[in-house]
Structure 1
């Protein structure tokens, strides 16, 4: 899930280079290794992941995350359709609807939305939104580390699906399952849209000792977790699941608030991954 302060932002800058760390930043990362979370506590965090996210939404309701009005700019696949063609869109890890509701406000009359989340409380917030319309949206609970997604949606039925600031909150041992789940949900030729935290993002560098679970994987104060990806990891993950890579890169962004004198660099990873057409993938 995206953990980002509510500040004004400038445009994104794309490149394929891993950030070069300063000596101070290298020292910060090294200090994190002085106190690693014990295996027993890490296992408990995994077992209680749903509870921690439910508590997060109980505390923050719909006020924490900004609506994602940038998605149509970054993912042209959302708008490059015949307006008379019905498009099935699946959001994997929908939170409180910060992606689907901006799309609804922009029109997208030909879209049929499916939205799922790990947290029952988050799903209830989606359903309580004034724009929720059961003729156009179906929101439901699903654990992406299992196959219960397919209790609510058929395999090979989705034109577009998204994983936006979701995979980082899931244990690395489960990523292959999540990637394959997205693959199986998509129609041949369908596209997965992805954005998440990039390696050496500001949020990774500011963790103190006692929060690191494993390499590039951390626990936040509230018990939720976050991983920081390299583009190479994602390329391997999604090609192994069967996808073809359309784009796969780092995104650099500055989060700024001139009034408060804040100017913070951010690093994300962004990709578009396509399920092969029926002709090249007859199975």
Structure 2
């Protein structure tokens, strides 16, 4: 399958002046509540568990269709993916229903892609979509595993240095079992450290995390990169219409978008 099939015909990245938009929003009284401090009412562990369960319900509810469209602009936005060497390893963090993984796998056939999500249902949907892509090559280059990287970190077998458990206190070592369940218990790669990854893609994932978990999440992503590796990031921003269209009573915190999407409000 040709790369052109999986690339967007047009790509829009600078359709407005950010500084001008920010100034307009900050001066508008009806948007001021978005910038007020927010107090938590649950612990981090409870919050993470709640998010995971909510994502499970969300993906189960949308199991028959693609709620998130394929992001075919990615190879234009990040040309490094299109021009990387064969067998380059990519970690897609928060893979959802595969809207990022599928265009990368089919648009660049030399890439090996690992994908994690905190939701088992999301991983199942992604696996189904990749399997149905008609690309046998994509299926064999796709390795999903269950992990909430913002709370437990990434599993030790993924890290760039040697897989010594003493070096990974607090990491989600249990994710190795989840990985083996998907990739096959006899896989050599599932039993040893893969030596880190060349790229980490963090596409519309960071905004789904509470503000206090973002620094740890970003550090985790950098820690599993090989020397010279790249973190490829794209997300919503403060003042985006996705944020501004919600009312004050719908505000949950900095991840208002996540909570509205999953049906908390």
Query: TM-score normalized by structure 2?
Result: 0.69
Residue 141 (structure 1) aligned with residue 141 (structure 2): no
Report how far residue 223 of structure 1 moved.
4.2
**Following TM superposition, by how much is the alpha carbon of 1:21 offset from its aligned partner in structure 2, in angstroms?**
4.5
Q: 8 Å contact 1:37–1:210 — kept in the other structure?
A: no
Shift of 1:134: 5.2
Within the alignment, does 1:154 sit opposite 2:159 as a pair?
yes
> Is residue 120 from structure 1 mapped to residue 120 from structure 2 by the alignment?
yes
* SS class of match (2:70): coil
Whole-angstrom distance in 2 between the partners of 1:12 and 1:37: 31
Give aligned pairs, total: 213
Corresponding position of 2:214: 175
After superposition, the Cα gap between the structure-2 partners of 1:204 and 1:100, relative to the gap in structure 1 and judged at 3 Å, is same
Over 3 Å counting, the alpha-carbon distance change for 1:71 and 1:51 in structure 2 is same
RMSD: 3.2
- Contact in 2 for aligned 1:33/1:209 (Cα 8 Å): no
TM-superposed deviation, 1:76? 1.2
3-state DSSP class of the match of 2:41? Answer: helix
Question: Structure with the greater relative contact order (CA < 8 A, sep ≥ 6): 1 or 2?
Answer: 1
Q: Is the 8 A contact 2:11 2:76 kept in 1?
A: no
Provide the C-alpha distance between the structure 1 equivalents of 2:39 and 2:212, rounded to a whole number of angstroms.
17
Partner of residue 247 from structure 2, selected from 198, 202, 208? 208
- 1:86 is matched with 87
Structure 1 residues 110 and 222: alpha-carbon distance in aligned structure 2, compared to 1, 3 A threshold = closer
CA distance in 1: counterparts of 2:140 and 2:242, whole angstroms: 39
Partners of 1:26 and 1:195 lie apart in 2 by 26
Runs of at least 5 residues in structure 1 that lack an aligned partner in the other structure: 1-7, 226-283
- 1:237 aligns with none
Does residue 54 of the first structure (1) align with residue 93 of the second (2)?
A: no
Structure whose residues are more often helix by fraction? 2
CA shift at 1:89, angstroms? 0.7
TM-score normalized with structure 1 length: 0.65
Deviation at 1:224, TM superposition (A): 6.2
